[in-house]
A and B are shown apart, each in its own frame.
Chain A
Amino acid sequence: MNGVHDMGGMHDMGPIQAEKNEPVFHERWEARIYVLTRALGAWRKWNIDTGRFGIEQIPPADYLRMSYYEKWHVRLVEMLVKTGLVLRSEVETGKPDPGAAKMKPPLTVEQVSGVALNRAIAPSVDPNIAPRFKTGQKVRAKNINPAGHTRLPRYARGKVGRIHVDHGVYNFPDTNAHGLGEKTPARVFGCASPPLSFGVTRLRPTTPCISTCGTTILNTPDPSVCFAEVEGIPRDEGGPVFSEPWQAQGSARAHRCRGRRRLRSGKKELARRLSGFGKPDPFLEGLPDGVLLANQPASGMKGGFLEMFEGAEEGPDVGNVDVRFIGARNHALGRCGVFAFKMAVQMAGEPRLSMDLSGEFLVRLGDSVPIQLEAHGPARLVGRQKIENVDVQLDGTGEMANHRQDHLPLIHRAVIKSGGGACTRPSSMAACTMSA
């Protein structure tokens, strides 16, 4: 789940406060909670992953406020109630319910110290499961957003990295947390993400066009919306009334965020994006496939760790280059053939980045030398096609655009020129301005 526990990469959580000569427990009750939790694990009503999910389910505000063992305490109570070991009424009254079922035989100190406390977790279960990826292979962590437990933190999702080490086969926490662990052992890979250089080595060039926030979403609220029109706030003849100043502030702030025009345009923006659902859209990539179910891993994620990754082998950018002869036109240099081209290019290693370019170029009739299409920018395009006895080569670079041109208001320019010999004359060069 995308909870506050998944805080890797977040800012403003305050300075590191290292404690000198830190004790194992600061208070006696902390040790009691710790041992109680471990000891009750002997009943095998939960596992380490259900336990972690239990912590994650603490509401965000409580989660941030509570100390470590306060969270353990809340989790212990909730798990005891959920698994039927204790009734909610027993927790609330502090007295055992005479009618409540008892676990038999009772847990003894010997059992606890011998089994529960020192039990190693999640041993390698079946070393014979074949690895899908090899060490050194490039993979991408999927951009999943399960409502259940996951070990794929948000900061790693969508990132490309290399398999660093194959740790062997383990239960899959994403399913084990929901009682499906035994069926889905999976190999565990250590995966290093190369862009994280932490200022030591070179910075990786960034791709210029991953901007998934539409301008509509980032619009400032409309100040013209009338405060008095907001429904649902207490008011008298003189207008809205609040019992505390902070309520007025909060209401005003909430109201500003809900400016009507923004709401309308936000809906419009969302509708526009949803209309492209199913297509590889950077914004929609963040939405999960299929229905989100509580206490379940993400859809399609029952097969283990490997489901979290997809191959991201490097290769050339690939795509279709469609060039067609569409007729002839009189030009200052003479009669020219007109070729229309359309390029749909998929960026290597960047499944969400693709580019569409289209336009036309002129070739003086009678020239039979190769024509070269060249688009300027970071994306390298390679293609070759023979049309009407003219050998058209595509070898150049182009400005990257989102695969749907209406998403980013960029003007794409592609310069197309004939290559080699006499055809390098400016006259056979055509500049095409792409539609925005």
Chain B
Amino acid sequence: MAGSRAAPGLVQVCPYRSRAVIDPRGVLKEFGLDVSPDVEVRVWDSTAELRYIVLPERPEGTESLTEEQLTALVTRDAMVGVARVKAVQAGDKA
């Protein structure tokens, strides 16, 4: 699976690649994601072979949702790790 998809644009560009390891909070903030100071940030620079799957944090109030409804909440940015999943109902997009 690894290597069989084109990389999202953000990881191709210099601002992201230069700053992710030294200023991860600043980078995420510019994506619109504020990480609370009490949340530890760890940078994982991948090796040549290993890729990481981002498992988005489950938003509060979604305990009763079905897999299908949960799937509808997940965005690409959430899977890339630069956005949180918002607990809007499926089909209730703003």
Is the pair B6, A34 in contact by a Cβ cutoff of 8 Å?
Answer: yes
Residue of B nearest to A149 (CB): B48
Question: Can you report 15 A-B residue pairs in the complex whose CB atoms are below 8 A from each other?
Answer: A7-B18, A16-B31, A17-B15, A18-B77, A18-B82, A68-B12, A118-B4, A120-B4, A153-B21, A153-B45, A167-B50, A170-B49, A188-B49, A190-B44, A192-B42
Is the pair A167, B21 in contact by a Cβ cutoff of 8 Å?
Answer: no
- Determine, out of A196-204, A205-213, A279-287, A333-341, the stretch whose residues face the partner at the interface: A196-204
Q: Which A71-89 residues have a C-beta within 8 angstroms of B?
A: none
Is the pair A25, B6 in contact by a Cβ cutoff of 8 Å?
Answer: yes
Within the assembled complex, what's the spacing in Å between the Cα atoms of A173 and B47?
A: 9
> Which residues from chain A contact B27 at a C-beta distance below 8 Å?
16
> Which residues from chain A contact B20 at a C-beta distance below 8 Å?
8
> Which residues from chain A contact B16 at a C-beta distance below 8 Å?
16
Is the pair A48, B10 in contact by a Cβ cutoff of 8 Å?
Answer: no
> Which residues from chain B contact A151 at a C-beta distance below 8 Å?
47-48
> Which residues from chain B contact A14 at a C-beta distance below 8 Å?
14-15
Count class of interface residues, chain B: 35 or more
State whether A199 and B25 are in contact (beta carbons under 8 Å apart), knowing that A8-B18, A48-B48, A121-B3 are contacts in the complex: yes
Count class of interface residues, chain A: 35 or more
> Which residues from chain A contact B77 at a C-beta distance below 8 Å?
18
Q: Does B67 contact A (CB under 8 A)?
A: no
Within the assembled complex, what's the spacing in Å between the Cα atoms of A18 and B20?
A: 14
Within 8 Å by CB of B30, from A11, A13, A18, A117, lies: A18
Within 8 Å by CB of B47, from A11, A188, A192, lies: A188
> Which residues from chain A contact B17 at a C-beta distance below 8 Å?
7-8, 13
Inter-chain contact count A-B, CB under 8 Å?
A: 105
Is the pair B48, A120 in contact by a Cβ cutoff of 8 Å?
Answer: no
Within the assembled complex, what's the spacing in Å between the Cα atoms of A226 and B40?
A: 56
Q: Does B54 contact A (CB under 8 A)?
A: no
State whether A120 and B40 are in contact (beta carbons under 8 Å apart), knowing that A13-B18, A18-B10, A167-B50 are contacts in the complex: no
Q: Shortest distance in angstroms between B29's beta carbon and chain A's nearest beta carbon?
A: 9
Q: Does A178 contact B (CB under 8 A)?
A: no
Q: Which A1-34 residues have a C-beta within 8 angstroms of B?
A: 7-11, 13-19, 22, 24-25, 34
Within the assembled complex, what's the spacing in Å between the Cα atoms of A196 and B44?
A: 12
Q: Does A374 contact B (CB under 8 A)?
A: no
State whether A173 and B48 are in contact (beta carbons under 8 Å apart), knowing that A7-B17, A9-B22 are contacts in the complex: yes
Within the assembled complex, what's the spacing in Å between the Cα atoms of A11 and B6?
A: 26
Is the pair B15, A49 in contact by a Cβ cutoff of 8 Å?
Answer: no
Within 8 Å by CB of A167, from B14, B32, B47, lies: B47
Which among A68, A117, A170, A200 has the greatest number of chain B C-beta atoms within 10 A?
Answer: A200
Q: Does A122 contact B (CB under 8 A)?
A: yes
Q: Shortest distance in angstroms between A297's beta carbon and chain B's nearest beta carbon?
A: 13
Q: Does A241 contact B (CB under 8 A)?
A: no
Residue of A nearest to B23 (CB): A198
Is the pair B14, A13 in contact by a Cβ cutoff of 8 Å?
Answer: yes
Is the pair B8, A8 in contact by a Cβ cutoff of 8 Å?
Answer: no
Which among A10, A48, A167 has the greatest number of chain B C-beta atoms within 10 A?
Answer: A10
